[in-house]
A and B are shown apart, each in its own frame.
Chain A
Amino acid sequence: MKNRSGQREAVGKVWAGVLVCLVVILMTAAGYGQPALKKITFIPQWSPQAQFAGYYAAYEKGIYARHGLNVKILRGGAHRPSSELLENGEADVGTIWLSTALQKRSGGVRLVNIAQVAQRSSLMLIAKKSRGIRRPEDLEGKKVGLWGDDFRIQPTAFFKKYAIKVKVVPQSYSVNLFLRDGVDAASAMWYNEYHTILNAGINADELTSFFYSDYGLNFPEDGIYVMEETLKKDPAAVCAFVNASLEGWRWAFDHPEEAIDIILKYMVEANVPANKVHQRWMLERMKDVIIPSGSDRAAMGVLKKEDYERVGKELKEGGLIADVPGMDAFAFTCAGYVQK
């Protein structure tokens, strides 16, 4: 999920690229004498990868423009938390994890969920079968690599649930410590590190995978957020963004190879390691996460009450929030704006 090179971006170069694109789009729009597009600045919570394929596709394929928006996509990264950019007004819309957003909201930041894109948690724990780990209980006393902050909420609840004591090793940006057996188990995102491990030569059948979502700890992750005042000011534009983004996702799922090419282009611009098979894997997993099997495509982006309550409860029990904010104030449904 994180990597060292992500920090070294050729920021200027990309800004220039984005600006050129914007200028071209603006000139084109002006040339056709259409009404001026509403400007929206979007910040994904990480550097370009297929985790955000829908947004980049919506941008590249002119879906945002078709919804009357002039979207500018900012480059995310470890040191540019999207919630902060929303807070300080650098960005209008951003993606944030539900658990993060809940904590922020609880902490007084008036973030509003306008779409819950991911329906299923991708966070997981991976162990090598060769280290004798096959069930959660086998983790007792083992060295387990965990990321910080929000990434620890589910594992903590998980260990508590099974009354396991593990030796927590702070997990870095790579999975190398795990690969070299520096830890017995490591954290992974299903769409990212899991595949990285597979592509470091470990076969899936050599691994034991613990999906938190399988253990009653489904914390849906990526959602789209705005500040409350942004929503109040122009709910139509906000909902146009949501609808266009979901349309972008649907297009990406229907045109995976094209979508991957778009993503790779942004990755190369951002100077992050770009691997086509990895991005293909990620897009396929995002589809699993965004449209879990059996769910309706049209019902994409809905924040389910039980998910919301589950995350709130766990956060409260974990002592991370004092009270669970009311869902009505926290989540705004754009259903009424779909027809627009």
Chain B
Amino acid sequence: MFKNKGIAFKLVLFFTLSSAAIFAAIFSYNYLVSRRMIQKGIEENSANLITTTTSRIEVLLTSTQKVPQNTAYLLENTNYDEAELFKVIYAIVEKNPEIYGAAVAFEPYAFDRTKKYFAPYFYRNGEGISFKYLDRFYDYFHWDWYQIPRELEQPQWTEPYFGEGGGVLMSSYAVPFYRVVDGTRRLTGVVVVDISVEELRKIVSSIRILRSGYGFLISKNGTFVTHPIKEHIMNETIFSIAEERKDPMLRETGRRMIRGETGYSAGSVKSAVTGKTCIMTYVPIKSNGWSLGVLFPYDELMADITNLNHVVLALGIGGLILLALAVVFIARSITRPLTEMADIAGRIGTGDLEAHVPEVRTKDEVGRLASALDCMKTSLKDYIREITDTTAARQRMESELKIARNIQMGILPKEFPPFPDRKDFDIHALTIPAREVGGDFYDFFLIDRDHLCIVIGDASGKGIPAAIFMAFTKTLIKAKASVSIETGVLMEEVNDELSKGNPADMFITVFCAILNTATGELRYTNGGHNPPVIIRRTGDLSYLDGPGELVVGIMEGTRYTTRTLALNPGDGLFLYTDGVTEAMNAAGEIFSTDRLKDVLATCADGDVSAITACVGGAINDFCKDAPQYDDITMMAVRYEGTGSGNG
């Protein structure tokens, strides 16, 4: 997937991703823990808040309850007349500012045998206190405040209701009281006091949680008694809200509330004011079975931690960006020289050795690579300069070799047959020069009509000096050769000339012979040269014997002997240089004089050109691909005679 992407990309990707993963893990953990801490804090704080609130409500309710309870006790245990009863009821309203109204309602005919309805009622009316009888039109027997305590035979707080006229929301506490008549305990009536729910509303509305949190009070039926939304009060129950919202969880919470349970509902309740998710806690008001609910707006509770998380998140993202930038920077510092070096290596590969290797100051791997590349470049450069120099030298040498060969070839007679009009002898020479001229030479020329001079030699050393030395020797021999001169003398003179100006101590082996074509007499001198082979007409082969004399050009005044050999018509001579006998094959064996003799035996009866070709071919076969180190030169001469008359 990322095969084609650069190192920088991979580094950034993997560093950033792994750092992001670490950061996300830390962030999540931090968020969860801090959220749990906040929730715990809420639970503790709300417990305090709710305890305070409910105890304020309880104080109000229980202090109110005592009044009708005491009155009921009084009515059960004392005798009273109407005036006393009125005084008691009036005092209840007068002395208890929280009580809106109070009544003592009697069972039919219980107070006065003539009256079905008897219920004196004192109630606050503006600044004063008013009075009225609750009569048959009001029909108090059917009202909750009367009927419920009557049926249940115990004091009861009523559901909230709107009071007469003013629309004041009230709740009544009613206590049934009894008299024992004829041995049975009979209900006499109900003492009831009304209180305004306004006081409760003030207590509950003092609950202010953050910006939008609130408290509410529901009655035993789930009806809202206090709520920040006025329209909810008395019109809605927690269950109708649950139905409206299609929220069975809220209904279940409501059922718990009206059962008097204490609870905590996390995250499932929506604020009626803001519609946001809230944590709701609820506790019962034990006196009247109502329930206090408090909503904690979740997002506001979490505002601090949310803000903190935003900052942490921003820092984290900022850090990741910085990290990515740092990685990019580092990666670039690695890859930029690498890229450059790759380019340069490419350029070097194509031969551009002038490419500049970037300077890397660091001692790290990149630095080492750069210096290695630089070193490689320098070495290559040196090497190539060397090669260039060597090549130039070789070219020079080769041109010298060429010159030397030109000299060699230029002075050797190459035209065969050289004397086409002469039938009394035949001569053929072949030279195969080595790559580096070896200094071999041969020559033949007619001194006069009957004297043929034959020379073969091999100068010491190689190259131009050898070629020049050889040329010089050949020229000297040709210049000094005459009919009257003996070959030994000729050799001595040549030796003296060469010896004089020869500071390099060069020398040359020379075999020089003069053939009298009229008689077949061969006079010769061998100056350190390989003995030629005599090829008799009969097929006998023999090396020309006689002690070898000193090579020419090394010592002035050296004496050379002139020897004589008689050739019969058909006899011949095979001359050669050491390049023939010392020709070496790949196995290190030399061609040798014996092998030469064997070869000559096979082709001695052919003409001179056939003999040289035969030997040349044999050497070639022997050496095969082995390199030739020395010139190979051979010359075959056959004396044919002047005719039968002379023979």
Contacts and interface: CB of A to CB of B under 8 A. Distances in A.
Interface of A: 4-5, 8, 143, 169-174, 176-177, 179-183, 198-201, 203, 271, 273-278
Most buried by B among A4, A169, A177, A199: A199
B21 to A, nearest CB: 49
A180 B255 CA distance: 14
B363 interface: no
Interface in B139-177: 141-144, 147-148, 151-152, 156, 158-159, 161-162, 164-165, 167
A181 B156 CA distance: 12
Contacts of B142: 170-173
A122 B157 CA distance: 31
B235 A172 contact: no
Nearest to A170: B142
Nearest to B159: A176
B239 A276 contact: no
Contacts of A4: 143, 161-162
Nearest to B219: A200
Contact of A176 (B221, B234, B236, B254): B221
Given A180-B156, A201-B251, 14 more contacts: A5-B161, A8-B164, A8-B165, A169-B147, A172-B142, A172-B143, A173-B142, A176-B221, A199-B222, A200-B237, A201-B238, A273-B234, A275-B237, A275-B240
Given A174-B144, A275-B236, A182 B221 contact: no
Given A179-B220, A182-B148, A199 B161 contact: no
A201 B222 contact: yes
The 7 closest A-B pairs by CB, nearest first: A182-B151, A200-B221, A172-B142, A199-B239, A277-B240, A277-B243, A199-B240
Most buried by B among A8, A198, A201, A203: A201
Contacts of B234: 273
Contacts of A183: 151
A194 to B, nearest CB: 13
Most buried by A among B143, B147, B254, B258: B147
B364 interface: no
Contact of B235 (A176, A177, A200, A273): A273
B237 to A, nearest CB: 5
Contacts of B84: none
Most buried by B among A8, A180, A274: A180
Contact of A182 (B141, B152, B238): B152
B201 to A, nearest CB: 17
A177 B148 contact: yes
Contacts of B165: 8
A276 B148 contact: no
Given A179-B220, A179-B221, A199 B148 contact: no
B244 interface: yes
Given A179-B220, A201-B255, A276 B244 contact: yes
A180 B288 CA distance: 12
A176 B148 contact: yes
Interface in B58-80: none
Contact of A169 (B143, B151, B239, B255): B151
How many B residues are at the interface, by size bracket?
20 to 34
A279 to B, nearest CB: 10
A200 B222 contact: yes
Contact of A5 (B152, B162, B222): B162
A274 B235 contact: yes
A81 to B, nearest CB: 15
B293 to A, nearest CB: 14
Contacts of A274: 235
A177 B240 contact: no
Interface of B: 141-144, 147-148, 151-152, 156, 158-159, 161-162, 164-165, 167, 220-223, 234-240, 243-244, 251, 254-255, 258
Contacts of A200: 221-223, 237, 239, 258
Contacts of B240: 199, 275-278
B152 A180 contact: yes
A198 B238 CA distance: 11
A172 B162 contact: no
A180 B220 contact: yes
B240 to A, nearest CB: 4
Contacts of B221: 176, 179, 200-201
Contacts of A199: 222, 237, 239-240, 243
A180 B239 contact: no
9 contacts: A4-B143, A4-B162, A8-B167, A169-B147, A177-B151, A182-B151, A203-B255, A273-B234, A275-B240
Contact of B148 (A5, A180, A275): A180
B239 A198 contact: yes
B159 A174 contact: yes
B392 to A, nearest CB: 108
A277 B246 CA distance: 11
A176 B158 contact: yes
Nearest to A179: B221
A174 B234 CA distance: 13
A180 B159 CA distance: 11
A177 B147 contact: yes
A5 B244 CA distance: 24
A140 to B, nearest CB: 19
Contacts of A275: 235-237, 240
Contacts of B148: 176-177, 180, 182
A174 B161 CA distance: 11
B147 A182 contact: yes
Nearest to A79: B137
A290 B164 CA distance: 36
A280 B243 CA distance: 11
A275 B158 CA distance: 21
A182 B156 CA distance: 11
B152 A181 contact: yes
A40 to B, nearest CB: 32
B220 to A, nearest CB: 7
Given A200-B221, A278-B240, A172 B164 contact: no
A143 B150 CA distance: 13
Contacts of B156: 180
Most buried by A among B159, B223, B236, B240: B240
Contacts of A177: 144, 147-148, 151
B138 to A, nearest CB: 10
Nearest to A264: B235
A5 B223 CA distance: 15
Nearest to A272: B235
B143 A143 contact: no
A181 B151 CA distance: 9
Contacts of B244: 276-277
A64 B165 CA distance: 35
Contacts of B258: 200-201
A143 B161 contact: no
A144 B161 CA distance: 24
Nearest to B146: A172
Contacts of B158: 176
Nearest to A172: B142
Nearest to B223: A200
A5 B159 CA distance: 13
B238 to A, nearest CB: 8
A278 B235 CA distance: 10
Contacts of B255: 201, 203
A280 to B, nearest CB: 9
Nearest to A281: B243
A43 B594 CA distance: 161
Nearest to A276: B244
A177 B221 CA distance: 11
A4 B164 CA distance: 10
A275 B258 CA distance: 20
A119 B412 CA distance: 151
B144 A172 contact: yes
A200 B254 CA distance: 9
A311 to B, nearest CB: 27
Contacts of A171: 142
Contacts of A143: 151
